[in-house]
Chains A and B, each alone.
Chain A
Amino acid sequence: MRGMSLIVKTVTRLVAEFITIFGIYIVLFGHLTPGGGFTGGVILSCGFILLTLAFGKDFSLHVLSKRAAGTWDSIGALAFLIVALVGYRVGSFFFNLWAEPATFKLASAGTIPISNIAIGVKVGAALFGGFMALAVFRRGARGGYEEDE
């Protein structure tokens, strides 16, 4: 993929930042407004996919390499698992520490925003990596996930 015309690139440059900011907003305010970690993560990966479609795969792989995408995928999942295991402090799985009646602030609702961020990172990275694996794959070319050894 070599990228598209100048008009598309210019518009993309303008829009991509807004998409990213919107995605981050959706992740962070998931416990107060519609949205949440998963939705925000998908929006973030949509931003990356738009970049890929407009500028070609080399550009977006420069921003976030496939290996880094895999790493963030794992880190997000591990972070969520750790949130789950924090519940062991009170002898349970998934206990919402620091829960308090709603204050409608960003830092409220205990572990929920943390879980949202973890899921957002995880889903964004995972979908971007999956999309790149699908996009890069060509007949007869070396592609897909790199083989080890």
Chain B
Amino acid sequence: MPRELLPYFLAMVLLVIGLYAIVGKKNVVKIIIGVIIMEYAVNLFLVLIGYRSGGRAPIVTKTLNEDPQRLREFMQTAVDPLPQALILTSIVIGLATLILMIAIAIRVYEKYGTFDVSKIRKLRG
């Protein structure tokens, strides 16, 4: 694998760890942690996609704006702003899902008295 593709692969590794925590673990908290890790993995993947060598933040300052030469240079080296907007949305969605998930988990604990999902099964198969 070329060296410049390794970061993407590492993000995939993170995804697999999260998936393993969700599928393989029996504890509700561990499952929630797995969901969080998966969200981190996808956000990491998106930010890696948007990176451009040079890595300037896509924010124009006033001094930069007054110098057309440097402004042009900025436009050629600033990182991709679109994935950043996507990640911001994705972080918010992750947070929203997490709050709802924790609310449900607290209620489930109250009803069943355990965090062990193998004991939380009143529903048949």
Contacts and interface: CB of A to CB of B under 8 A. Distances in A.
A and B are interacting partners: yes
Q: Is the interface of B mostly helix, strand, loop or mixed?
A: helix
B6 interface: no
B92 interface: yes
Interface string A68-85: 000000000000000000
Nearest to B100: A130
A139 B110 contact: yes
A134 B92 contact: no
A84 to B, nearest CB: 16
Nearest to B106: A137
A127 B65 CA distance: 37
Interface of B: 57, 59-60, 62, 65, 88, 92, 99, 102-103, 106, 110
22 contacts: A33-B59, A34-B57, A34-B59, A36-B88, A38-B88, A38-B92, A102-B60, A102-B65, A104-B62, A104-B65, A123-B92, A127-B99, A130-B99, A130-B103, A133-B103, A134-B99, A134-B102, A134-B103, A134-B106, A137-B103, A137-B106, A139-B110
